[in-house]
């Protein structure tokens, strides 16, 4: 079973700080990765996808992928209390398939 691992947290950061969320994966063949945000009681919402080694930036969010080390991370700059949520990392269960394997999620708490 291919796995996606995340620290469950909570990760606590003060407002305005950079929050760094990490995810490791077991399948070296994984080509694409997704970060979802899930607020309590709500469904997951796609934040970013990343396919290539390196950084991908979208507003306050930066996804980083290092295939050699098999980790993917999400940085949130200028964290806001509204960013407090559980962040889910996901990768396709098998290359070329749309079924995803999700990590258990990291809870982020941003304090005012």
Partner 1 sequence: GAVVSQHPSRVICKSGTSVKIECRSLDFQATTMFWYRQFPKKSLMLMATSNEGSKATYEQGVEKDKFLINHASLTLSTLTVTSAHPEDSSFYICSASIQRTSTDTQYFGPGTRLTVL
Does residue 1 belong to the site contacting partner 1 (CB under 8 A)? Answer: no
Q: Select 89 or 110, whichever has its Cβ closest to partner 1.
A: 89
The 3-class secondary structure across 9-46, one letter per residue, is CCEEEECCCCEEEEEEECCCCCCCEEEEEECCCCCCEE
Instruction: Rule CB under 8 A: choose which of 87, 105, 106, 110 binds partner 1.
Output: 105
Scanning 10-18, 43-51, 58-66, 73-81 for contacts with partner 1 by CB under 8 A, the matching segment is 43-51
Q: What are residue 72's DSSP bridge partners? A: 23, 65
Instruction: Rule CB under 8 A: choose which of 9, 22, 102, 109 binds partner 1.
Output: 102
At its nearest, how many Å lie between partner 1 and the CB of residue 102? 5
Question: How many CB atoms neighbour CB 8 within 10 A?
Answer: 11
């Amino acid at each position: 079973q291919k796995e996606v691992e995340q620290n469950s947290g909570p990760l606590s950061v003060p407002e305005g700080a950079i929050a760094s969320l990490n995810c490791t994966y077991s399948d070296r063949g994984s080509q694409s990765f997704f970060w979802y945000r899930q607020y309590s009681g709500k469904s997951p919402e796609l934040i970013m996808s990343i396919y290539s080694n390196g950084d991908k930036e979208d507003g306050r969010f930066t996804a980083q992928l290092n295939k050699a080390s098999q980790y993917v991370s999400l940085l949130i700059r200028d964290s806001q209390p509204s960013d407090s949520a559980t962040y889910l990392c996901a990768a396709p269960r098998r290359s070329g398939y749309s079924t995803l394997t999700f990590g258990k999620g990291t809870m982020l708490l941003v304090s005012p």
